[in-house]
A and B are shown apart, each in its own frame.
Chain A
Amino acid sequence: MLDIEKIRSQFPILAMEVYGKPLVYFDNGATTHKPVQVINAVSDAYTNFNSNIHRGVHYLSDISSEKYEGAREAIRQFVNAGKREEIIFTAGTTASINMVAFSFGEKYIGEGDEIIISTIEHHANIVPWQVLCERKKAKLLVIPVFDDGSLDIEAYGKLISDRTRIVAVSHVSNALGTINPVKEIIGIAHSNDIPVLVDGAQGIQHGDVDVNEMNCDFYVFSGHKVYGPTGTGVLYGKEKWLEEMPPYQTGGDMVDKVTFEKTTYSKLPFKFEAGTTNFVGAVGMAAAFNYITGLGIDNIIQREKELLDYSTRRLEEIEGLKIYGTAKDKIPVISFVLEDIHQYDVGMILDKLGIAVRTGSHCAQPIMDRFGIDGTIRASLCFYNTTGEVDALIEGLLKVREMMG
């Protein structure tokens, strides 16, 4: 059991009031707030050991490098990757996907090859592949979804051909909250010798991610959605792929030997970490993982399941409210529309009641098109939210109804 009151006191921003109302923060899918443990880790880094990593011969640089590599090890353990070489620090999920799309694409994708994604993807897991397809004259194929927001796995199997080179799917849909059967997806791909990238931007903070057990080839996520600093992220990749893929960006720290005739590259993971990385952010991200490990991922899963069940039940009480994404396996994200009321009006009024939700297409226009809508209201919760806050949302929605007449 989590002590929610204590947990909330560790997130300073949650105590604030907006427009004179207590903040109800239901936009965790966009970014989560940070506990003092993370804020202090970042502050401690700037206060006590800020210095560029892997460069200096001096005391501070040594400490900074040690902390940075310590962060890599903490994250390796959290996702249960086999080797530290398989953990690449990036600027976030988008950067990680672009890195794979470019480097993997450079090496393995040619004209007429095929890449499979799904209808449910965030634009970050669509556009880099689309651009790659344009560049290489390859083809993008899309796994369809059922009306409840779950993927049509049978159709997926039929999309696979001898030209399929990679499959890229989200672990969890950001717009609907559906947890995709990634192990099954990976199994099918692997039986055809096709690697799989899993976009874990919405998965890592809500479940027990074990890349070894999942057997994905790439797993990518952002630090800021998992209670860590913004501008941080990770690309986990199996060593065999990362070894063969060419570097994405080039410059300092990723090179072994540079002459004007030829440059040889550093070994993993540095080959993919050109320039000065966000070493302070990495330390903050590791603090975030330590924090949620301390809470216990199973406790988080249980808490969030309770919040999902409660909020779904309460929202369903509202007449004319339709939830999009009703698959069995979900994280506490509820995407919905109110009959005859534009989602933007709902969001504007909720905002003035202190309730932060997201409205619109959630950077996932294809799935909105699939449902024939131009957007939803998305309440994305996490363990620090409360049933009382859900009640405030319900009251807010009733108020919206009343105002809109």
Chain B
Amino acid sequence: MTIDEIQKDIIEEFALFDDWMERYNLLIDIGKGLDPLDEKHKGNDYLIEGCQSKVWLYPELADNKLYFKAESDAIITKGIVALLIRVVSGRTPEEIINTDLYFIDEIGLKQNLSPTRANGLLAMVKQMKLYAIAFNAKLKSAEDGN
């Protein structure tokens, strides 16, 4: 599936609910389903600053693709980061850099994107893109080296 197709899927899943409580229930379920992060990656190195709840985001490059694992101590935040992972994890860094994450707006989480909002959704997206930029540079320099 392309990034676009996954985003459309998520939008459809959330479109089934017009009630906020149901949407949160869905986010909670998604959050609970997120693979746990290895304890050794739950240190300050992977902690995203600027969130009221703690979020750890761990990147890994395999076969030129960037994979993310994450965890949060707040379950709704965990649901949000799980959605982000579903969309961007396992893509090339370049794809991640160029992705427009429009699904956030479409499923009504846009208000959570404001820089002052405490859940740090913006900080999570930014961190994912920063990792993508860093790994992209690494891949590029490896290619140049060849």
B74 touches A403 (CB 8 A): no
Residues on A with C-beta less than 8 A from B76 are 344-345, 348-349
Interface residue? A375 (CB, 8 A): yes
Report Cα–Cα, A344/B27, bound state, in Å.
14
B21 touches A345 (CB 8 A): no
Interface residue? B7 (CB, 8 A): no
Interface residue? B24 (CB, 8 A): yes
B52 touches A352 (CB 8 A): no
Interface residue? A19 (CB, 8 A): yes
Give the Cβ gap from A358 to chain B, nearest Cβ, in Å: 10
Residues on A with C-beta less than 8 A from B74 are 342, 344-345
B21 touches A342 (CB 8 A): no
A342 touches B118 (CB 8 A): no
Residues on B with C-beta less than 8 A from A54 are none
Report Cα–Cα, A348/B24, bound state, in Å.
9
Pick the contact of B20 from A342, A352, A374 — CB < 8 Å? A352
With A344-B76, A344-B118, A403-B21 in contact, is A360–B28 under 8 Å at CB?
A: no
Which B103-123 residues have a C-beta within 8 angstroms of A? Answer: 118-119
26 A-B pairs (CB sep. < 8 Å): A19-B20, A342-B53, A342-B75, A342-B77, A344-B76, A344-B77, A345-B53, A345-B75, A345-B76, A345-B77, A348-B76, A348-B119, A349-B21, A349-B76, A352-B20, A359-B52, A359-B118, A360-B52, A360-B118, A374-B54, A375-B52, A403-B24, A403-B25, A403-B28, A404-B28, A404-B75
Residues on A with C-beta less than 8 A from B25 are 403
Taken residue by residue from 8 to 36, chain B's Cβ proximity to chain A (1 for < 8 Å, 0 otherwise) reads as 00000000000011001100100000000
Residues on B with C-beta less than 8 A from A349 are 21, 24, 76
A352 touches B21 (CB 8 A): yes
Which B64-84 residues have a C-beta within 8 angstroms of A? Answer: 73-77
Give the Cβ gap from A207 to chain B, nearest Cβ, in Å: 31
- 14 new A-B contacts at CB < 8 Å, known A344-B53, A359-B118: A19-B20, A342-B53, A342-B74, A342-B75, A344-B52, A344-B77, A345-B77, A349-B21, A352-B20, A352-B21, A360-B52, A360-B118, A403-B21, A403-B25
Give the Cβ gap from A117 to chain B, nearest Cβ, in Å: 25
Residues on B with C-beta less than 8 A from A353 are 21
User: How many residues of A sit at the interface, in one of the four size bands?
Assistant: 10 to 19
B75 touches A352 (CB 8 A): no
Interface residue? A399 (CB, 8 A): yes
Which A329-365 residues have a C-beta within 8 angstroms of B? Answer: 341-342, 344-345, 348-349, 352-353, 359-360
Report Cα–Cα, A19/B25, bound state, in Å.
17
What number of residue pairs across chains A and B have CB atoms under 8 A from each other? 42
Interface residues of A (CB under 8 A from B): 19, 341-342, 344-345, 348-349, 352-353, 359-360, 374-375, 399, 403-404
Task: Please list the 3 inter-chain residue pairs (A to B) with the smallest Cβ-Cβ separation, ordered nearest first.
Answer: A342-B74, A352-B20, A344-B74
Report Cα–Cα, A345/B25, bound state, in Å.
11
Residues on A with C-beta less than 8 A from B28 are 403-404
Residues on B with C-beta less than 8 A from A352 are 20-21, 24
Report Cα–Cα, A403/B118, bound state, in Å.
21
Give the Cβ gap from A220 to chain B, nearest Cβ, in Å: 26
Which B92-146 residues have a C-beta within 8 angstroms of A? Answer: 118-119
Give the Cβ gap from A137 to chain B, nearest Cβ, in Å: 31
**What residue in chain A is nearest B31 (Cβ atoms)?**
A345
Report Cα–Cα, A216/B75, bound state, in Å.
46
**What residue in chain B is nearest A341 (Cβ atoms)?**
B75
Report Cα–Cα, A345/B118, bound state, in Å.
11
Residues on A with C-beta less than 8 A from B52 are 344, 359-360, 375
Report Cα–Cα, A404/B77, bound state, in Å.
13
Residues on A with C-beta less than 8 A from B21 are 349, 352-353, 399, 403
Report Cα–Cα, A140/B77, bound state, in Å.
37
With A375-B52, A404-B75 in contact, is A344–B24 under 8 Å at CB?
A: no
**What residue in chain A is nearest B119 (Cβ atoms)?**
A344
Report Cα–Cα, A360/B51, bound state, in Å.
10
Taken residue by residue from 35 to 77, chain B's Cβ proximity to chain A (1 for < 8 Å, 0 otherwise) reads as 0000000000000000011100000000000000000011111
Residues on A with C-beta less than 8 A from B119 are 344, 348
Residues on A with C-beta less than 8 A from B118 are 344, 359-360
Residues on A with C-beta less than 8 A from B53 are 342, 344-345
Report Cα–Cα, A212/B52, bound state, in Å.
41
Give the Cβ gap from B49 to chain A, nearest Cβ, in Å: 14
A342 touches B24 (CB 8 A): no
Give the Cβ gap from B1 to chain A, nearest Cβ, in Å: 29
Give the Cβ gap from B48 to chain A, nearest Cβ, in Å: 14
Residues on B with C-beta less than 8 A from A348 are 24, 76, 119
Residues on B with C-beta less than 8 A from A344 are 52-53, 74, 76-77, 118-119
Report Cα–Cα, A353/B19, bound state, in Å.
11
